[in-house]
Every structure is written in structure tokens, then in C-alpha cells.
Amino acid sequence: MRFTPLLAEELNNETKESLKVHCKEGHTIGPVTVSDAYLFIKKGLRTYYIAYVDADKIFRRVRRLHANICCGDGDIEVEYLVIQAGDKELMEITLPGKKAAQMLLNEIKEKAPELDTTAPLRTDTEESDGEGA
């Protein structure tokens, strides 16, 4: 497994072994694994990670996408997990659904209660999870 930091930091062998242990002990929901100290995101052959202390904000974003379906038009809600550090969004991860997104955010709140998980105010193209609006 190739670990890639979301923030610039140097990986040594001791850190790689520690990350493997944290990743194996964590709970996986969709492409995201929640451990005691780190959040891991599986994307292709890489596993991205960030320590909770390095992230400023982790929140849930819901976007409505317009879809032309065979029997008419409709909107589809797509759930995302957004990781933010230093006024910049580092990554937006597509989640498998509303229930998975709620479970994931609750688990992150449990592991890192000091972390800000409130969503920013809504815009025309997206909905918040109700915590920041």
C-alpha cells in the first residue's frame, strides 16, 4: 500500500509502519478509513492520509445534480466528504450515500471531537448537512 500525505510531510520507514497499523485498526466506510489519529482515503492505488490535528475542518457536502433519465428529468443528491486545511480544500471524496455520509461524519466526530465538522453556508448549487446553515 502506498501512503501519500495530503499535506507535505516526509515519510520514513517508522512512519509507514505506524500508518499501516492505524489503517488496519480503523473502520472503513466507502473509500474512507477512520482511525484514532488519522483519516485514510483510498483512491486508485494510493492511500491518502491526514492526521486530525493537521486538518482545520472536515465536513459533509451535498450537491444536487440534474439528471436526464429515460422517463423524465430529476435531481440526484451526491454526498461528499470535504477535507480543509488552511483556507484551502485539500480533497473532496465522493461517498456511497446519505447513510454512509452521516455514519462517517459521526465517527469522525467521535474520534476527533475538537475538529470543526460544521459545513459552510449553502450556495445555489449545494446543500449543507444542516449543521452550518
Number of domains forming the structure of the chain:
1
> Nearest to residue 97, comparing CAs of 73, 112, 111, 80?
80
Flag whether pLDDT at 78 surpasses 80.
Answer: yes
Runs of H (alpha helix) within 26-130: 98-111
Mean predicted confidence (pLDDT) in 71-99: 90
Structural domain includes residue 133: no
Q: Output the pLDDT for position 133.
A: 38
pTM value > 0.85:
no
Distance CA 90, CA 92 (A): 7
Q: Does residue 47 sit within a domain?
A: yes
Q: Which residues contact 78 (CB under 8 A, 6 or more apart)?
A: 62, 63, 64, 65, 94
**Running DSSP on this structure, what letter comes out for residue 6?**
S
Helix (H, G, I), strand (E, B) or coil at 13: helix
The band of 123, judged by pLDDT with boundaries at 50, 70 and 90, is low
C-alpha cell at 41: 482515503
Domain that holds residue 70: 2-127
Q: Per the domain annotation, does 132 fall within a domain? A: no
CA 8 centroid distance within chain: 18
The three-class DSSP label of residue 46 is strand
Average pLDDT, integer, range 86-112: 94
